């Protein structure tokens, strides 16, 4: 369900990079492989942002997880559906705790992606 | 590699109904400076991109030393391509430092980093911009970016150097510096093709050939001695 979002944002990023850096690669005498590496190097930050956005959407998704997964205990129950179920049952404490864990996971992943994006040197 | 000839070239962009270039035949020779002069939108850049083997013409042939370039094998094309460099009007700057940008072309040709940096520093010294060596290239001004993209082409020592509007963002002293370098390169038996829309600079460059283009057609070709 999140694939169309990744494709549309990544396509836009790659389209601009391919136009500018693809032509530049030809002018400087790069091989096809070198051209591809250059395009990926120049667009990786944008691509990473696109994946982060898609991941954030996916991890916080409730409707799709409920509709497709069905919220079956020990089988298709995920954090978001467990939180929703907990709230409807009046188990606010455990739901709040799960919510906090979800936020922490997102923060940790965002920090890791940030470190990766800074760490990759051209 | 001594000569690039264009024979009866026609070109149009996919969105366009009219020809951007129509029936263009011209030769570019080693050891000569050729200026392509024309107003904005006259087809200078397209002509330069076809002659520098970036664009494939829709009709007509491009010969490099009597070999039809677009019918060659990929490996042969690459060998020829690496002897030609094209500098965009709007500088294309890569992520990284100034030195990373300048050595990129050398590195993809397999030169080791130390030798590449040494060569890049020579060019930067000649252009008097060695103070920005380790600066982030994406933070440079338009003029500095233009000089960097020129330096990146010069360091490759191409047999044919195509430069699209090289002086558009440069101050007077840098313009003169670049003109001096181009004249020095010409003496090394390299071909230089420059596109311009300012006629005032023609005299300063003192080219061997002046090609005037309008509405995608060559209006005149003047040869100076």
Q: What are A's interface residues with B at a Cβ cutoff of 8 A? A: 20-21, 23-24, 26-31, 34, 38, 41-42, 121-122
Q: Looking at the partner chain, which of A20, A23, A34 has a beta carbon nearest the beta carbon of B108? A: A34
Q: Using the beta-carbon criterion (under 8 Å), do A26 and B81 form an inter-chain contact? A: yes
Contact residues, chain B, for A122 at CB < 8 Å? 94-96, 100
CB contact under 8 A, A29 and B78: yes
Check residue A57 and give its pLDDT: 83
Chain B hits for A121, Cβ within 8 Å? 96
In order of B21, B161, B194, the CA distances from B69 in angstroms are: 19, 17, 21
Our CA-based measurement puts residue B94 at a distance from the nearest CA of chain A, in whole angstroms, of 7
Residue B28: predicted pLDDT: 96
Nearest-angstrom CA–CA distance, B33 and B206: 8
Q: What is the pLDDT of residue A4?
A: 87
Q: Mark yes or no for CB contact A122/B95 under 8 Å.
A: yes
Q: What is the mean pLDDT of residues A63-86?
A: 83
Q: How confident is the model at residue A90 (pLDDT cuts 50, 70, 90)?
A: very high
What's the DSSP call for residue A113? H
Residue A122's pLDDT is 43
Mind listing the pLDDT tens digit for each residue in A4-46? 888 998 998 999 899 999 999 999 999 999 999 999 999 988 8
Give chain A's mean pLDDT.
87
The verdict on B117 touching A (C-beta cutoff 8 Å) is: no
* Residue of chain A nearest B85, judged by CA positions: A27
Is the minimum CB–CB distance between B77 and chain A shorter than 8 Å?
no
B58: number of Cβ within 10 Å: 14
Q: Is the pLDDT of residue A52 over 90?
A: no
pLDDT at A95: 93
What's residue B77's pLDDT?
95
Residues of chain B in contact with residue A36, where contact means CB-CB under 8 angstroms, are: none
**Backbone Cα Rg of chain A:** 20
Name chain A contacts of B92, Cβ cutoff 8 Å: 20-21, 24
- Report the b/e string of A7-16 with b at 16+ CB within 10 A: eebbeebbee
Query: Is the pLDDT confidence value at A67 over 90?
Result: no
Tokens of B195: 């596109």
- B211 interface with A at CB cutoff 8 Å: no
The ipTM, to two decimals, is 0.89
Q: Do the beta carbons of residue B152 and residue B102 sit within 8 Å?
A: yes
Measure A20 CA to nearest chain B CA, in Å. Answer: 7
Provide Rg for chain B, Cα atoms.
17
Distances (CA, A) of A82 to A74, B42, B134: 11, 65, 52
Minimum distance, in Å, between the CA of residue B203 and any CA atom of chain A: 28
Say whether B208 sits in a helix, a strand or coil.
Answer: coil
Nearest residue, CB atoms, A24 vs list B78, B92, B95: B92
- Given this model, what pLDDT does residue A79 score? 87
Taking only the tens of pLDDT, chain B with its 225 residues reads 889 999 999 999 988 889 999 999 999 999 999 999 999 999 999 999 999 999 999 999 999 998 999 999 999 999 999 999 999 999 999 999 999 999 999 999 999 999 999 999 999 999 888 888 889 999 999 999 999 999 999 999 999 999 999 888 888 888 999 999 999 999 999 999 999 988 888 988 999 999 999 999 999 999 986
Using a CB–CB cutoff of 8 Å, tell me whether B95 touches chain A.
yes
When pLDDT is averaged across residues A96-102 and rounded to a whole number, the result is: 93
Of B143, B177, B182, B175, give the one whose Cα is nearest residue B32.
B182
């Amino acid at each position: 369900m999140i694939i169309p979002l990744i494709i549309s944002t990544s396509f836009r990023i790659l389209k601009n990079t391919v136009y500018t850096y693809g032509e530049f690669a030809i002018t400087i005498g790069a091989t096809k492989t070198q051209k591809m590496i250059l395009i990926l190097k120049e667009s990786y930050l944008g691509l990473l942002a696109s994946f982060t956005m898609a991941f954030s959407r996916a991890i916080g998704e409730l409707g799709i997880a409920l509709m497709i997964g069905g919220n079956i205990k020990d089988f298709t129950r995920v954090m978001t559906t467990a939180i929703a179920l907990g709230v409807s049952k009046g188990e606010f404490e455990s739901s709040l705790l799960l919510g906090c864990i979800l936020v922490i996971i997102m923060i940790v992943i965002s920090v890791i992606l940030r470190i990766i994006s800074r760490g990759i040197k051209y | 590699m001594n000569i690039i000839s264009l024979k009866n070239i026609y070109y149009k962009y996919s969105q366009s109904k009219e020809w951007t270039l129509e029936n263009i035949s011209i030769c570019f020779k080693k050891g000569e400076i050729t200026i392509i002069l024309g107003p904005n939108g006259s087809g200078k850049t397209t002509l330069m991109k076809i002659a520098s083997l970036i664009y494939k013409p829709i009709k007509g042939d491009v010969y490099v030393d009597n070999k039809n370039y677009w019918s060659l094998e990929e490996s042969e094309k690459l060998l020829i391509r690496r002897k030609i460099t094209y500098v965009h009007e709007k500088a294309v700057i890569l992520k990284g430092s100034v030195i990373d940008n300048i050595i990129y072309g050398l590195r993809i040709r397999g030169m080791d980093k130390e030798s590449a940096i040494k060569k890049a520093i020579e060019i930067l010294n000649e252009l008097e911009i060695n103070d920005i060596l380790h600066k982030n290239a994406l933070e440079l001004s338009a003029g500095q970016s233009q000089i960097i993209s020129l330096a990146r082409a010069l360091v490759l020592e191409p047999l044919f150097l195509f430069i699209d509007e090289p002086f558009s963002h440069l101050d007077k002293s840098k313009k003169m510096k670049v003109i001096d370098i181009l004249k020095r390169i010409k003496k090394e038996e390299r071909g230089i093709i420059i596109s311009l829309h300012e006629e005032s600079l023609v005299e300063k460059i003192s080219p061997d050939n002046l090609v005037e283009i309008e509405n995608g057609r060559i209006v005149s070709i003047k040869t100076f001695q």
